[in-house]
Amino acid sequence: MGHAISTCMEFTFDHSSSASTLPDQEEPPKSVFTNSDSIEEIMYLHHVVLKHYWGQNYVSPVVLSSDNETKPKQVLDLGCVTGLWTVEMASISPTTNFVGVNPFSIFPKSAPSNVSFYQQNILNGLQFDDNSFDFIHERLSLSDFTKKQWEDTVLHEIVRVCKPGGWIELLESDACICDKGKVLRRIGRSCKKLFLSKGLVPNLGQFLQTLLRSNPQLTDVHYIENDMPLGKRHGKFGELAVRDLMLSWNAIKIPLSQIMGIAPEHFEAILEAFINEVNVQDLYWRTYRVIARKKTLDEMNERL
Ligand SMILES: C[S@@+](CC[C@H](N)C(=O)[O-])C[C@H]1O[C@@H](n2cnc3c(N)ncnc32)[C@H](O)[C@@H]1O
């Protein structure tokens, strides 16, 4: 099992589960944000901006806020980083156990007793039994997994540890976040080239829908889009969303500048041009959720 930062729940992990059939151990991946001085601020901005514009922390048909018979007992937050989603959800759902997983440790020092954090790399297989979680949440991993990793390992592991009848929810955005604005389109096109050059999936929304729909263990696949307005004309959250994007692009400014054919010190001017553009045009940041339910055993048997 990975390194547990806070374990206060009863949970058994089988190290001999099918996870062990996955590829040889990989080094902990370096997220583009790993070396960014702003990682905590970026994660905070992701969390508050997404929660505000979506009006909620998840959209799957599971009820976490009140006690009921069908309430999820075990929830996994994959790639939880600083654990903001994990801790907030655990606070409003004290009778559910939450597990946050990240390949490097940047977990909060204190957390509610129904939260555990583990340092694990999904590319080496998650160290959890098959069918462990009622609900699996993951978000913003556009820069983390290649097409091959999504196809060969990431979705396989997510589906494996999801209980039959459990829900999977992925919140993502594409490299091009908006088809308006000259500067914003230029940044988007450059991000797209950069991600393609690394084997990542710049049009993740389309890709994930197809991937989930073609998985025989999944059903009820839905795609829900949300164009989040950008800029101070849209109030505090429009402004925070702009800051979030600027810090995120800044974290990859060296390879982005190369692709744009400019010196990294001139990247600041691109960001300034973006601010000017966002102050006069209606621009948005498209995010989307792809959700799916893992078939129950009866549903699986019907197929045979
Ligand atoms: C942009 S962050 C999203 C953070 C968080 N889910 C949120 O929305 O606030 C993507 C996260 O995925 C994690 N990640 C990247 N590669 C991973 C891997 N191989 N296994 C598990 N998590 C991974 C990164 O460490 C990073 O914390």
118-122: long-range contacts at Cβ-Cβ below 8 A with a sequence spacing of 24 or more? 118/1, 118/2, 118/3, 118/4, 118/5, 119/2, 119/3, 119/5, 119/28, 120/1, 120/2, 121/2, 121/26, 121/28, 121/29, 122/78, 122/79, 122/153, 122/154, 122/157, 122/158
Q: Check pocket membership of 121 for ligand 1, CB cut-off 6 A.
A: yes
Q: How many CA atoms lie within 13 A of 101 on its CB side?
A: 24
The pLDDT value given to residue 71: 87
Domains annotated on the chain, with CATH:
3-7+30-298 (3.40.50.150)
Q: What is the CA radius of gyration of the chain?
A: 19
Place of tokens 């263990």: 217
Instruction: Quote the pTM value.
Output: 0.89
Give Cα 149 distance to the centre of its chain. Answer: 15
pLDDT tens-digit map of 199-213: 999 999 999 999 999
pLDDT tens-digit map of 216-237: 999 999 999 999 999 999 999 9
Ligand 1 mean position, distance from CA 98 (Å): 16
Tell which residue, 91, 84, 142, has the closest CA to residue 114.
Answer: 91
Counting ligand 1 atoms within 8 A of each CB, the residue from 81, 85, 170 with the most, and so the one to mutate, is 81
Q: Check pocket membership of 29 for ligand 1, CB cut-off 6 A.
A: yes
Q: Can you name the residues that pair with 200 across neighbouring β-strands?
A: 146
- 272-293 in b/e form (b: 16+ CB < 10 A) is ebbeebbeebebbbbbbbbbbb
Low-confidence ranges of the chain (pLDDT < 50): 1-24
Q: Check pocket membership of 103 for ligand 1, CB cut-off 6 A.
A: yes
Ligand 1 mean position, distance from CA 125 (Å): 15
* Helix or strand holding residue 159 (H, E): helix 155-161
Q: Check pocket membership of 122 for ligand 1, CB cut-off 6 A.
A: yes
CB neighbours (10 Å) of residue 198?
12
The pLDDT value given to residue 234: 96
pLDDT tens-digit map of 228-279: 999 999 999 999 999 999 999 999 999 999 999 999 999 999 999 999 999 9
